[in-house]
Amino acid sequence: MPSFGVDQLPPPKTIEDLLGPALLAAMDSLELTSRKVLAGRLHGDRRSKRRGFSIDFADHRPYVAGDDLRYVDWNVYARLDALFLKLYLDEEDLSVLLVLDGSPSMDWGDPSKWTYARRLAMAIGSISLASRHRVSIASFSGDGVAQLRDLRGRGRTAELGHWLLDREIGSPAAGDELGNALRILAPTRRGRGVAIVLSDFLGGEDPLPALRVLGGGGDDLHCLQVLAPQEIDPGGQGMTGDVRLEDAEYGGPREVTVTPALLRAYRARLDARVQLVRDAAHGCGGTHLAVGSDTDIESLLLGQLKSGGMVQ
Amino acid sequence: MTWLTPWSAFWLLLALVPILLALYILRLRRARQLVPCTSLWTEAAEDVQANTPFQRLRRNLLLLLQLIALLLIALAIAQPRIEAAAGRGERTVLLVDCSASMQAYDGGGGRTRFEAAADAAMGVVDRLHPGGWFSDEGGQTMIVSLGAGADIVQPFTGSRSVLRAAIGRLEPQDTTAELGDGLNMARAWASEPNPDEPRALSEPARIEVFTDGGLIDLDDVATRDNPIMVHLVGEGTAANRTVQSVAAERSAEDPDAVQVFASLWNWTIEPRDERVQMSLDGGAVHIEDVRLPAGRLDEDGAITPGRRDMVFTPATRPDAVLVEVRLIGDDIFPLDDVAWTVVPARESVRVMLAAGTDSMMARAIRAVPGVTLQEFSDDVSSSDVLVLDRVDVSILPDAPTLSIDTTLPSSMVSWNQRRGAESMAIGDFRHPVLRGGSPIDLWVGQPQGVAIDASVRAVLRGENGPLVLAWEEAGHRRVHIAFDPARSSWPWDPTFMSFLVDTLDWLAWRSGGETAGNGVAGGSVAVRLPEGVEQAVAISIRNDLQPLRGRSGGRAAWGPVTTAGPWLVRWDTPQRGHSVVAVQLPAAIEGDLSRPEQLMIGGEAVDNGASLGRSVPLWPWAIGASLLVLMIEWAVFTRRIA
């Protein structure tokens, strides 16, 4: 099994490798949404908690000196002989944070989880930029956290793509690298928004404390757990016989004889791990979706993510 | 249990067991596989982490089963065999030695050798036919006794009770025994046990012999393809002394006096002081303490006995008398501590001489003890022997005849012209008339020329033809001297008188009235019954009864006689009477009771008694068991990995 779990395709070199023309066309009609109505920093295309100047009527208030006369409701003045201003829901930008797991465990699978996560981040980021959201993206590993902040507008898509292409798998972390990374990223956020974590969530212990850093702060949290097909069904993907398993990160070697019983036990433990991540995400008010790295991203966006309310 | 190739199994185990253990001790060289997270595999793997090439040998059912399978395979390679009951169709012949030496009391536990052999035979029968639910009753066993002859005591049968009863019927005999007779009989019966139900025979019958090694023909028997197993009985270390032989005869000078001779043998290497008793007709007449010289141990371990020949003081017994010589005291073989012989009653031979009374032959015959010389008459039947000394007769006399230099009208002898003088003679010393010896340098003047039939024996033969003839014709014995002894040198030779005595004895035998006699166990014994006795019975000292029927000439015979000692022959009609016949042990029975460690049959060593029943190979069972264990091991393995 020398090629088991090794990506047979070369890593992406260009933005087109990350985001193909077909996927780009499919994304034109998509928009990243938040299940929560959050306050933004700049005017945008997204409804804000604030009363603003969008087309959606919200309320009336008495005119006070200094108000813009363009928003006086003259129909009300005609009937009531009093000046009222029409208040509209303001449309603000949305803060989107994409967090990529760059630990060595992501650099595994056919297709590679790392490549898939980058492609998915590119897709979501592109949608967000097209929606004039403010996009920040970060990658964490044992080497630390790398971040690209406050991208806005379609024109920053290429910058996002180059940043993703430049990212490399880091070294393994000794502790809770996800928690550490999120605790670093949380203070840097400008307002609350949507936080999307793309990871295999295989390292560390219970991810709940780490996810609470984001979910507990009011962000709309989405956990996309990327798993390779060889992880989901190693027996069906060809793992057999006596093997010496070596951990991609910090785990010690394990010598096993792959048997149906062992595969069943492994699958049970994997399912338990996925359930643990799901529970953690739900515990933070977020969503969780386990995604195979061989899942078509267009289908994912138009299917599971759209039905889950993440995009529309 | 025997192992045909134990070393092969040893080397196999020595080579494979360490390899098998090493496979479990040495850690498996596994393919390296990078995975995102090994923690998902930890608990299910049940493997230990170790950086050393060895790991502790843990309790492992698979290893245990594999070791058992390996041991079973090695067991099969060693080819173990066990002795088991006879299988279906197998035939076994038990040959039980019933000879005299089997009566020695060294069979162990106070038993005789014969009793020990019978017990061993019972044990073999029990093993061959164990009975019960799981026994194989297909085997057939035959029992043959070896004594005076080979007798089938029980033909082939599969019934244990019948076989045990047959062994119980066996009795020791005072005879020798030959293995060859038994083997021939066993082979004959084993080749076709039932002529009415012929069947294909794939294997020769197994033969098991129960003996003390005293069978007399072991060197002459070929085992051929019959597997033979010998069960040797007897300790063979006990000392023995024997009355090897006893002889008695009447004195030539005083026919009423009986002279007894005995030969005593000591089979130990120490001199022995013994008390000897000589009895006549059951009454002790002589008791003497004697010292038997020590025997000599030869280089090959055999004992040459020390011998002491005794001559007892003559006793006057004109009638027939039973002589017994006995060694007082017990030893392990009482049978040869006593010997008997019968001395016939003194009876004179009536000789009718047809010649001048002053002839040389008349003087010589008159000098023979126990001879009553009669005048010639026409009633030749009143004499026991008719002597025709150079007297021609026209008809063959109706009496035993000693004719001298005359021409008898015999149909078996024709007379020719006389020959020239001869100076050489060759005697047939095997003939009774020359028992005392034949002349060596005999000169004979003008012997008769004779032509004889094949049935006429030339007892003494000269250069150119017979000189003395002996034959039977017209119901009587005839002896003819074909020359005039007076014209020869024979009367001056000592053998002449012995010839005359032996000739008169031989001629008078058939016409004599002697009823007592001697015989040898294992052979037939003949006795002459008085005139008119048609039925009689012979009784041994063990109360064996043998009915006798008189035949022509008054002789009666029975045999083979299996009991040594005196036999009383009794008759009631026409008048009550009896006689005694002494049956002696065969001379071939020696007092050497040593037992060989291993029996040699036909020059080949034969396995000694350790193996009973048939030899059953166990390797198929071992292979089957190993396959079963491997199946269990496979089931356990698949259950583990499933």
Determine the length of chain A: 312
Q: Is the pLDDT at A72 greater than 70, yes or no?
A: yes
State the residue for tokens 């049940």.
Answer: B46
Task: Measure the CA–CA gap between B42 and A262, rounded to whole angstroms.
Answer: 10
Task: Measure the CA–CA gap between B599 and B613, rounded to whole angstroms.
Answer: 19
Contact B170, B98 (CB under 8 A): yes
Average pLDDT on B20-25 reads 80
CATH number of the domain encompassing residue B135 = 3.40.50.410
Q: In sequence order, what DSSP letters do the residues of B477-530 get, joined into one string?
A: EEEEE-S-GGGBSGGGSTHHHHHHHHHHHHHHHHH-----EEEETTS-EEEEPP
- Residue B460's domain spans which residues? 349-511
Whether residue B452 sits in one domain with residue B497: yes
- The domain tally of chain B equals 5
Q: Is the pLDDT at B422 greater than 90, yes or no?
A: no
Residue B401, classed as helix, strand or coil, is: strand
| B32: its two tokens | 């390296």
Higher per-residue confidence, A26 vs B159: B159
Average pLDDT on B212-236 reads 81
Is residue B609, in this structure, part of any structural domain at all? no
Average pLDDT on B482-487 reads 90
Whether residue B504 sits in one domain with residue B521: no
Q: Is the pLDDT at B320 greater than 60, yes or no?
A: yes
Which pLDDT score, from 0 to 100, does residue A139 have?
Answer: 93
Short-list B167, B255, B271, B281, CA closest to B566: B281
B635-641 CB contacts, 8 Å cutoff, 24+ apart: B636/B61, B636/B62, B636/B65, B637/B62, B640/A259, B640/A261, B640/B62, B641/A257, B641/A259, B641/A260, B641/A261, B641/A262
Instruction: Say if B60 is an interface residue toward chain A (CB within 8 Å).
Output: no
B174-207 per-position pLDDT tens digit? 888 888 888 888 877 776 555 555 554 556 778 8
State the residue for tokens 């291993």.
Answer: B598
Higher per-residue confidence, B328 vs B512: B328
Residues with Cβ within 8 Å of B205's Cβ and at least 6 positions away in sequence, in order, are B91, B92, B93, B142, B186, B187, B190, B226
- In this complex, do A243 and B32 lie within 8 Å of one another by their Cβ atoms? yes
Of B201, B221, B237, which marks where a domain is finished?
B237
Short-list A195, A171, A191, CA closest to A182: A195
Whether residue B428 sits in one domain with residue B406: yes
A193-227 per-position pLDDT tens digit? 888 999 998 876 788 888 887 766 677 889 999 99
Q: Is the pLDDT at B24 greater than 90, yes or no?
A: no
User: What residue in B sits closest to A274 (Cα-Cα)?
Assistant: B40
Whether residue B354 sits in one domain with residue B336: no
Is residue B382, in this structure, part of any structural domain at all? yes
Query: To 10 degrees, what angle do helices A260-283 and B619-641 make?
Result: 10
User: What residue in A sits closest to B35 (Cα-Cα)?
Assistant: A247
Task: Measure the CA–CA gap between B311 and B30, rounded to whole angstroms.
Answer: 102
Which pLDDT score, from 0 to 100, does residue B48 have?
Answer: 45
Instruction: Say if B41 is an interface residue toward chain A (CB within 8 Å).
Output: yes
Q: Looking at CA atoms only, how far is residue B66 from chain A in angstroms?
A: 19
Average pLDDT on A34-42 reads 53
Is residue B614, in this structure, part of any structural domain at all? no
Out of A241-255, A284-298, B507-521, give the one with best mean pLDDT: A284-298
% of chain B exceeding 70 in pLDDT: 86
Average pLDDT on B11-25 reads 84
Q: Is the pLDDT at A278 greater than 80, yes or no?
A: yes
Is residue B11, in this structure, part of any structural domain at all? yes
Strand pairing category for B401-404 and B476-481: parallel
Whether residue B487 sits in one domain with residue B363: yes
Residue A34, classed as helix, strand or coil, is: coil
Strand partners, A245: A254, B33
B72-118 per-position pLDDT tens digit? 998 888 888 776 655 555 788 899 999 988 998 888 888 999 999 99
This complex has an ipTM of 0.77
Is residue B387, in this structure, part of any structural domain at all? yes
**Residue B170 — pLDDT band, cuts 50, 70, 90?**
very high
User: What type of residue is B320?
Assistant: A
State the residue for tokens 């790398």.
Answer: A146
Short-list B253, B250, B239, CA closest to B337: B239
Higher per-residue confidence, B2 vs B291: B291
Q: Looking at CA atoms only, how far is residue A261 from chain B in angstroms?
A: 5
CA pseudo-torsion sign B598, B602, B604, B609: negative
Is residue B591, in this structure, part of any structural domain at all? no
Whether residue B500 sits in one domain with residue B393: yes
Which pLDDT score, from 0 to 100, does residue B539 have?
Answer: 92
Of B535, B556, B584, which marks where a domain is finished?
B584
Task: Measure the CA–CA gap between B599 and B609, rounded to whole angstroms.
Answer: 10
Partner-chain residue, chosen from A261, A265, A266, that has the shortest CB–CB distance to B642: A261
Instruction: Please give the model's pTM, rounded to 2 decimal places.
Output: 0.47
Q: Is the pLDDT at B387 greater than 80, yes or no?
A: yes
Which pLDDT score, from 0 to 100, does residue B45 have?
Answer: 45
Backbone angles phi, psi at A94, to 5 degrees: -115, 135
Structural domains in chain A, CATH included, are 15-37+93-307 (3.40.50.410), 43-92 (no CATH)
Which pLDDT score, from 0 to 100, does residue B427 have?
Answer: 85
Whether residue B12 sits in one domain with residue B60: yes
Short-list A179, A110, A120, A125, CA closest to A157: A125
Short-list B171, B241, B83, CA closest to B615: B83
Which pLDDT score, from 0 to 100, does residue A41 have?
Answer: 46
Task: Measure the CA–CA gap between B105 and B331, rounded to whole angstroms.
Answer: 8
Which pLDDT score, from 0 to 100, does residue B144 have?
Answer: 93
Of B237, B263, B288, which marks where a domain is finished?
B237
A97-142 per-position pLDDT tens digit? 999 999 888 999 988 999 999 999 999 998 888 888 888 999 998 8
User: What type of residue is B40?
Assistant: L
Whether residue B281 sits in one domain with residue B156: no
Residues of chain A whose beta carbon is less than 8 angstroms from a beta carbon of chain B are: 1-2, 4-5, 105-106, 108-109, 113, 200, 202-203, 228, 231, 239, 241-249, 251-257, 259-262, 265-266, 269-270, 273
Contact B401, B479 (CB under 8 A): yes
| Backbone Cα Rg of chain B | 39
- Identify all chain B residues contacting A105, using CB atoms and an 8 Å cutoff: 36-37
Contact B338, B243 (CB under 8 A): yes
Which pLDDT score, from 0 to 100, does residue B28 have?
Answer: 63
Backbone angles phi, psi at B427, to 5 degrees: -100, 145
Whether residue B124 sits in one domain with residue B54: no
Instruction: Say if B311 is an interface residue toward chain A (CB within 8 Å).
Output: no
Q: Is the pLDDT at B554 greater than 70, yes or no?
A: no
Short-list B404, B386, B503, B507, CA closest to B448: B404
Chain A with chain B: Cβ pairs closer than 8 A: 108
Q: What is the mean pLDDT of chain A?
A: 82
- In this complex, do B40 and A105 lie within 8 Å of one another by their Cβ atoms? no
Q: Looking at CA atoms only, how far is residue A289 from chain B in angstroms?
A: 19
Whether residue B433 sits in one domain with residue B328: no
- Which of the 8 DSSP states describes residue A116? H
User: What residue in B sits closest to A199 (Cα-Cα)?
Assistant: B36
Whether residue B416 sits in one domain with residue B490: yes
State the residue for tokens 């076709």.
Answer: B192
Which pLDDT score, from 0 to 100, does residue B511 have?
Answer: 37
Contact B102, B113 (CB under 8 A): yes
B607-629 per-position pLDDT tens digit? 776 544 555 678 888 889 999 99
**Residue B239 — pLDDT band, cuts 50, 70, 90?**
confident
Average pLDDT on A261-283 reads 90
Is residue B303, in this structure, part of any structural domain at all? yes
User: What type of residue is B532?
Assistant: G
Q: How far apart are the first and last CA of chain A?
A: 42
- In this complex, do B45 and A200 lie within 8 Å of one another by their Cβ atoms? no
Q: Range with the lowest mean pLDDT among A230-239, B87-96, B625-634? A: B87-96
Partner-chain residue, chosen from A109, A228, A245, that has the shortest CB–CB distance to B33: A245
Task: Measure the CA–CA gap between B79 and B620, rounded to whole angstroms.
Answer: 9
Average pLDDT on B245-261 reads 84
Contact B305, B340 (CB under 8 A): no
Which pLDDT score, from 0 to 100, does residue B510 have?
Answer: 42
CATH number of the domain encompassing residue B366 = 3.40.50.880
Task: Measure the CA–CA gap between B28 and A257, rounded to whole angstroms.
Answer: 10
Whether residue B539 sits in one domain with residue B503: no
| A193: its two tokens | 């928004």
Which pLDDT score, from 0 to 100, does residue B133 have?
Answer: 46
- In this complex, do A261 and B31 lie within 8 Å of one another by their Cβ atoms? no
CA pseudo-torsion sign B421, B426, B432, B436: positive
Short-list A207, A243, A205, A237, CA closest to A223: A207
Q: Is the pLDDT at B131 greater than 80, yes or no?
A: no
Is residue B364, in this structure, part of any structural domain at all? yes
User: What type of residue is B341?
Assistant: T
CATH number of the domain encompassing residue B556 = 2.60.40.10
Instruction: Say if B36 is an interface residue toward chain A (CB within 8 Å).
Output: yes
**Residue B58 — pLDDT band, cuts 50, 70, 90?**
low
Q: Is the pLDDT at B356 greater than 70, yes or no?
A: no
